């Protein structure tokens, strides 16, 4: 009898350990699929973010979004000020077992900056890279440039040998109609290995047991499934078919919060939502453009009831912004973050004084698939402007339709959200948005403004290697943006993720990038 | 007959060219793929270069001719977003859509035919009235609403069936099927039901109307008078004579279902051609959009032409008509 009990007991123990050792599978329901397994194939940040679980850069952001060493252990700027020497981490292997060496870095940088690569803009200052020895590499730039490390966080390192073997040294080129091996296969150094992929259905990652870094996650597998329809995503979360989504629809948050098995993770995104003005001589209607007058821009700013938008349109979940960058972004200072007094009557008076005709018509260009509640806040703002005697014509359509109008000056006032990614530095909007259109600069300067004083500050910052001095210059430039009301900052938009109770830890990052190498599931004893 | 065949085929080719032209014109005004392909850090020059490399700066006629020449050879180019051969992408998705459509068709026949017969035989009974009422609901509810309601009932509340996806699939050659695995069959059920709701009511109403007609025919009266059991009269003699139009309709509707599957596929994240198309629209993936439109219209045109030719073959009067119309 005793023996039988013992056997039963041991059977139970076996069963228990069996459960405790069950795999931790995180089922991730994203709002869309990654484009391909090749991070260099399409300028899509979601694809790059997901593939960061497989591929890594020389440096990376830590939990506090500070840069820390990853595949490079240390770096220094050589005496010529334009060459950076990186000491690489030793003993790192790719998923196929190949060792990680300087060759790999050179091949990857060459590949991403090749002329057919859609991502070559991610390394704006890059000129060339050279092997010094097996674990040292020199990167030469086109001048002194302080933000190379920020750029490198997003440049994933491939295995040179693997690329050569599979004839994938060059990026895929849609124009030439070529496909690439790396589109279907992946071989990185990262914490997860791609096990299988069926586009639009499922991509499976398994934990890399030989990862060079100590794993903080306890996941064995990640199953990434795109679920485009928001209603289906919510249903899948409630029925436990997915454990995690990085896009919990705003309109369904109350319902998800009410469900006992789901936890909603809410935060405020780094993305600052702004409204841009045209600076051309005439409006799209052919009328003279009153927005060239700073006083008129200020009047439009004053006419917007920011509190009302925060409370009603954004349901109290956004952070009203006075500055054009979020507080976490280097270059931000509190003095920039001053809000104007909402005063429609004063705004009306200013418009009258500036000689703006009553009922002035202009286009107001918004996206239907862009920012959080964009259509609603655009409508609200349009009616606020109507109240001070203007006649904005609201034009809401998908990004694909609106982008050409915006870049070709076929519209007047427009919205823009800027998260400063992947740099996470105020240099990014200053160069891309606020600088005059000139070569690499001012690509998003859709309004066509030009402030030589601001340009000089930004150009100087772009060559200043001392962090403090650089940030001081950038703050000064941001002050000009603020004083001249080049764009109206509205708010940092809310973001929401949701997990089921099986997930013990899922750090929410303000750059909205899921980093599942920090995630933990509750299944483990 | 040969003249008719040629004429009908020429018609089909003309329709296809027109579709290609339409698709092309729409895309010209659709948006700029380059803006979606590069990321925020790309410079103006990068964008201009990419546009040039994609051939988007060429004249309209050059682009259209190039597109048609390649399409005829089955070459639709490379998807901008997935960086894969478009034909391969569509080939991978086609089995999923076709399985969904065939199962939905099967459901519509298995449910629709008996329901139609019942409503025709027991015209004013409670059951018939309920079925009639149900068919009105089926016709009026948009299929995405049906889909979401099914998900709410069977996935969220009851937890019986998955809310999305295709389950495990088995590859037979290049054909991937979900019919051979339990999870694949479970995943197929809700989308197929949701896609078939409209079709069920269509079949039911058609069968009902045909049955009412047939039941008045002399040979039915004769059979009844002869003492043939009612069951046999209804289900064998009468129904058989109603099926011809049902089969024609079902065949023609397959093209429709493939196109309509787009909505169902979006709701259920069914990895079929419709899903591929929706994603392509979001990303202005012109090669995929063009290929999808052409292939779906090709299926339509092919089915129609086939039906026409079969009819002409069966019924010589149609041939004569078309010959006379020409002269």
Instruction: Check pLDDT > 50 for residue A14.
Output: no
Three-class SS state of A224: strand
**Is B40's CB within 8 Å of A432's CB?**
yes
**Is A121's CB within 8 Å of B155's CB?**
no
Which of the residues A124, A173, A182, A232 would you substitute to probe the B interface, choosing the one with the greatest number of B C-beta atoms within 10 Å? Answer: A232
pLDDT over 70 percentage in chain B: 93
> In chain B, which ranges are continuous DSSP H helix?
2-28, 33-37, 44-53, 60-72, 86-121, 126-140, 143-150, 182-215, 218-226, 230-232, 239-268, 273-282, 286-314, 316-326
Residue A56: pLDDT band (50, 70, 90) is very high
Tokens found for residue B84: 């894969």
B83 at interface of A, judged by CB pairs closer than 8 A = yes
pLDDT of B39 = 67
More confident residue, A253 or A54: A54
Instruction: Choose among A370, A233, A382, A362: nearest CA to A290.
Output: A362
CA atoms within 13 A on the CB side of A68: 7
Residue A519: pLDDT band (50, 70, 90) is very high
Homologous superfamily of A271-494: Dipeptide-binding Protein; Domain 3 (3.10.105.10)
B278 at interface of A, judged by CB pairs closer than 8 A = yes
pLDDT of A341 = 92
**Is A228's CB within 8 Å of B271's CB?**
no
B32 contacts in A (CB within 8 Å)? 400, 403-404, 407
| Residues A263-285, mean pLDDT to the nearest whole number | 93
Q: How far is CA B244 from CA A167, A189, B120, B210, in A?
A: 57, 63, 17, 10
Which B residues in the span 92-131 are in contact with A, Cβ-Cβ below 8 Å?
92-93
**Is B45's CB within 8 Å of A439's CB?**
yes
Phi first, then psi: give them for residue B105, nearest 5 degrees: -65, -45
Instruction: Check pLDDT > 60 for residue A271.
Output: yes
Residue in chain A lying closest to B160 (CA): A239
What is the nearest CA distance from B281 to chain A, expressed in angstroms? 9
More confident residue, A71 or A34: A71
pLDDT of A11 = 44
| Strand locations in A64-220 (E) | 67-69, 72-77, 83-88, 126-133, 136-141, 192-198, 202-207
Three-class SS state of B12: helix
pLDDT over 90 percentage in chain A: 68
Q: How many CB pairs under 8 A join A and B?
A: 175
Residue in chain B lying closest to A121 (CA): B42
**Is B81's CB within 8 Å of A201's CB?**
no
What is the nearest CA distance from A256 to chain B, expressed in angstroms? 12
CATH architecture of the domain covering A3-226+502-521: 3-Layer(aba) Sandwich (3.40)
3-state secondary structure A261-282: CEEEEEEEEEEEEEEECCCCCE
Rounded CA separation B120/B204 (Å) = 10
B183 contacts in A (CB within 8 Å)? none
Judged by average pLDDT, the poorest of A65-69, A112-116, B20-24, B144-148 is B20-24
B45 contacts in A (CB within 8 Å)? 439
Instruction: Check pLDDT > 90 for residue A339.
Output: yes
What is the nearest CA distance from A408 to chain B, expressed in angstroms? 11
pLDDT of B318 = 62
Judged by average pLDDT, the poorest of A38-42, A320-324, A499-503, A515-519 is A38-42
pLDDT of B325 = 44
pLDDT of B229 = 86
Residue A15: pLDDT band (50, 70, 90) is very low
What is the nearest CA distance from B279 to chain A, expressed in angstroms? 8
Residue B46: pLDDT band (50, 70, 90) is confident
Q: Pick B43's closest partner by Cβ from A202, A238, A439.
A: A439
| Residues B32-55, mean pLDDT to the nearest whole number | 75
State the average pLDDT for chain A. Answer: 89
Instruction: Check pLDDT > 90 for residue A23.
Output: no
| Residues A373-383, mean pLDDT to the nearest whole number | 94
Note the pLDDT tens digit of each residue in B73-118: 878 888 888 888 888 888 888 899 999 999 999 999 999 989 988 8
Rounded CA separation A349/A353 (Å) = 6
ipTM over 0.85: no
**Is A241's CB within 8 Å of B155's CB?**
yes
Instruction: Check pLDDT > 90 for residue A221.
Output: yes
Note the pLDDT tens digit of each residue in B210-228: 888 888 888 888 888 888 8
Judged by average pLDDT, the poorest of B45-59, B113-127, B160-174 is B45-59
Residue B316: pLDDT band (50, 70, 90) is low
Q: Pick B163's closest partner by Cβ from A239, A398, A401.
A: A239
For chain A, residues classed under CATH 3.10.105.10 are: 271-494
pLDDT of B175 = 83
What is the nearest CA distance from A19 to chain B, expressed in angstroms? 23
Tokens found for residue A20: 């405790």
pLDDT of B40 = 66
A231 contacts in B (CB within 8 Å)? 148, 151, 267
3-state secondary structure A455-471: HHHHHHHCCCCCHHHHH
pLDDT of A207 = 95
Q: Pick B54's closest partner by Cβ from A175, A232, A238.
A: A175
Tokens found for residue A77: 């700027």
Instruction: Check pLDDT > 90 for residue A148.
Output: yes
Instruction: Check pLDDT > 70 for residue B257.
Output: yes
For chain A, residues classed under CATH 3.40.190.10 are: 3-226+502-521
CA atoms within 13 A on the CB side of A267: 16
Tokens found for residue A39: 């991070």
Instruction: Check pLDDT > 50 for residue B131.
Output: yes
Judge whether A218 and A23 are in contact, CB under 8 Å: no
B39 contacts in A (CB within 8 Å)? 43-45, 118-119, 121-122
Three-class SS state of B82: coil
State the average pLDDT for chain B. Answer: 83
| Residues A143-159, mean pLDDT to the nearest whole number | 93
pLDDT of A18 = 41
Judge whether B15 and B298 are in contact, CB under 8 Å: no
Judged by average pLDDT, the poorest of A164-178, A488-502, B200-214 is A164-178
What is the nearest CA distance from B17 to chain A, expressed in angstroms? 23
What is the nearest CA distance from B208 to chain A, expressed in angstroms? 36
Residue B203's region, left for phi above 0, alpha for psi from -120 to 50, else beta, is alpha
| Residues A431-445, mean pLDDT to the nearest whole number | 86
Instruction: Check pLDDT > 60 for residue A387.
Output: yes
Residues 6+ apart with CB under 8 A from A75: A58, A84, A85, A86, A87, A149
Note the pLDDT tens digit of each residue in A224-237: 999 988 888 999 99
Edge-to-edge strand order for the sheet containing A72-77?
Answer: A72-77, A83-88, A136-141, A126-133
Whole-angstrom distance between the N-terminal and C-terminal Cα of chain B? 15
**Is A444's CB within 8 Å of B84's CB?**
no
What is the nearest CA distance from A421 to chain B, expressed in angstroms? 8
Which of the residues A32, A43, A404, A445 would you substitute to probe the B interface, choosing the one with the greatest number of B C-beta atoms within 10 Å? Answer: A43
pLDDT of B13 = 87
pLDDT of B9 = 86
Q: Pick B82's closest partner by Cβ from A199, A225, A440.
A: A199
Query: Which residue shows structure tokens 């490379």?
Result: B78
Residue A126: pLDDT band (50, 70, 90) is very high
Residues 6+ apart with CB under 8 A from B216: none
Instruction: Check pLDDT > 80 for residue A95.
Output: yes
Instruction: Choose among B177, B84, B87: nearest CA to A185.
Output: B84
A226 contacts in B (CB within 8 Å)? 269
pLDDT of B308 = 79
pLDDT of A9 = 45
**Is B282's CB within 8 Å of A369's CB?**
yes
**Is B40's CB within 8 Å of A201's CB?**
no
């Amino acid at each position: 009898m005793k023996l039988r009990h013992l056997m039963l007991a041991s059977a139970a123990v076996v069963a228990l350990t069996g459960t405790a050792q069950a795999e931790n599978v995180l089922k991730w329901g994203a709002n869309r699929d990654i484009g391909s397994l090749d991070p260099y194939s399409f300028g899509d940040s979601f694809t790059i973010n997901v593939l960061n679980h497989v591929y890594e850069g020389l440096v990376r952001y830590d939990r506090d979004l500070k840069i820390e060493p990853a595949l490079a252990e240390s770096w220094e700027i050589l005496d010529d000020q334009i060459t950076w020497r990186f000491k690489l981490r030793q003993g790192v292997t790719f998923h196929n077992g190949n060792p990680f060496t300087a060759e790999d870095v050179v091949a990857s940088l060459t590949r991403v900056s090749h002329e057919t690569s859609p991502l070559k803009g991610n390394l704006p200052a890059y000129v060339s890279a050279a092997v010094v020895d097996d674990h040292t590499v020199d990167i030469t730039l086109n001048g002194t440039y302080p933000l190379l490390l920020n750029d490198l966080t997003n440049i994933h390192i491939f295995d040179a040998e693997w690329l050569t073997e599979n004839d994938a040294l060059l990026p895929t080129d849609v124009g030439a109609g070529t496909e690439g091996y790396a589109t279907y296969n992946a071989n990185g150094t990262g914490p997860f290995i791609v096990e299988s992929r069926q586009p639009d259905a499922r991509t499976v990652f398994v934990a890399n047991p030989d990862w060079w870094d100590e794993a903080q996650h306890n996941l064995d597998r990640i199953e990434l499934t795109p679920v485009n329809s928001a209603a289906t995503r919510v249903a899948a979360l409630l029925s436990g078919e997915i454990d995690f989504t990085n896009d919990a629809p705003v309109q369904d948050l109350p319902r998800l919060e009410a469900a006992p098995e789901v936890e909603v993770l809410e935060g405020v995104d780094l993305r600052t939502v702004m409204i841009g003005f045209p600076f051309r001589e005439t409006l799209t209607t052919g009328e003279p453009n009153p927005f060239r007058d700073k006083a008129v821009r200020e009047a439009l700013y004053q006419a917007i009831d920011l509190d009302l938008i925060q409370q009603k349109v954004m349901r109290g979940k956004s952070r009203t912004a006075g500055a054009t960058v979020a507080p976490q972004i280097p270059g931000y200072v509190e003095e920039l973050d001053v809000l104007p007094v909402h005063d429609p009557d004063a705004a009306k008076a200013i418009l009258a004084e500036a000689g703006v005709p009553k009922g002035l018509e202009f286009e107001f260009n918004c996206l239907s698939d862009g920012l959080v509640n964009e259509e609603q806040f655009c409508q609200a703002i349009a009616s606020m402007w109507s109240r001070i005697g203007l006649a904005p014509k609201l034009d809401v359509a998908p990004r694909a339709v609106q982008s050409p109008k915006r870049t070709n000056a076929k519209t007047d006032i427009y919205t823009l959200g800027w998260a400063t990614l992947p740099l996470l530095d105020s240099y990014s909007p200053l160069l891309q948005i606020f600088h005059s259109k000139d070569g690499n600069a001012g690509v998003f300067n859709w309004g066509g403004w030009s402030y030589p004083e601001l340009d000089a500050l930004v150009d100087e910052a772009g060559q200043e290697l001392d962090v403090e001095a650089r940030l001081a210059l950038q703050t000064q430039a941001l002050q000009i943006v603020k004083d001249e009301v080049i764009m109206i900052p509205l708010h940092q938009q809310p973001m929401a993720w949701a997990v089921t109770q099986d997930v013990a830890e899922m750090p929410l990052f303000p750059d909205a990038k899921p980093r599942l190498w920090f995630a933990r599931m509750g299944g483990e004893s | 007959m040969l003249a008719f065949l040629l004429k009908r085929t020429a018609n089909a080719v003309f329709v296809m060219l027109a579709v290609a032209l339409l698709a092309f014109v729409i895309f010209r005004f659709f948006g700029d793929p380059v803006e979606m392909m590069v990321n925020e850090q790309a410079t103006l020059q990068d964008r201009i270069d990419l546009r040039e490399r994609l051939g988007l700066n060429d004249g309209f006629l050059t682009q259209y001719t190039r597109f048609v020449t390649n399409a005829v050879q089955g070459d639709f180019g490379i998807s901008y977003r997935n960086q894969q051969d478009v034909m391969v992408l569509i080939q991978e998705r086609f089995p999923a859509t076709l399985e969904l459509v065939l199962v939905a068709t099967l459901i519509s026949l298995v449910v629709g035919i008996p329901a139609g017969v019942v409503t025709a035989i027991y015209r004013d009974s409670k059951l018939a009235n309920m079925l009639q009422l149900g068919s009105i609901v089926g016709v009026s509810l948009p299929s995405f609403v049906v889909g979401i309601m099914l998900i709410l009932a069977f996935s969220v509340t009851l937890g019986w069936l998955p809310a999305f996806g295709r389950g495990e699939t088995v590859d037979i050659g290049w054909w991937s099927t979900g019919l051979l695995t339990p999870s694949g069959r479970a995943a197929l059920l809700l989308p197929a039901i949701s896609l078939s709701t409209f079709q069920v009511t269509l079949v039911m109403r058609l069968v009902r109307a045909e049955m009412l007609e047939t039941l008045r025919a002399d040979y039915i009266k004769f059979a009844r008078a002869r003492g043939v059991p009612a069951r046999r009269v209804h289900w064998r003699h009468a129904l058989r004579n109603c099926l011809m139009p049902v089969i024609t309709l079902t065949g023609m509707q397959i093209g429709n279902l493939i196109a309509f599957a787009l909505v169902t596929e979006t709701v259920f994240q069914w990895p079929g051609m419709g899903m591929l198309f929706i994603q392509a629209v979001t990303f202005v993936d012109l090669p995929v959009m063009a290929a999808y439109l052409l292939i779906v219209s090709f299926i339509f045109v092919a089915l129609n032409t086939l039906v026409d030719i079969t009819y002409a073959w069966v019924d010589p009067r149609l041939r004569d008509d078309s010959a006379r119309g020409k002269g």
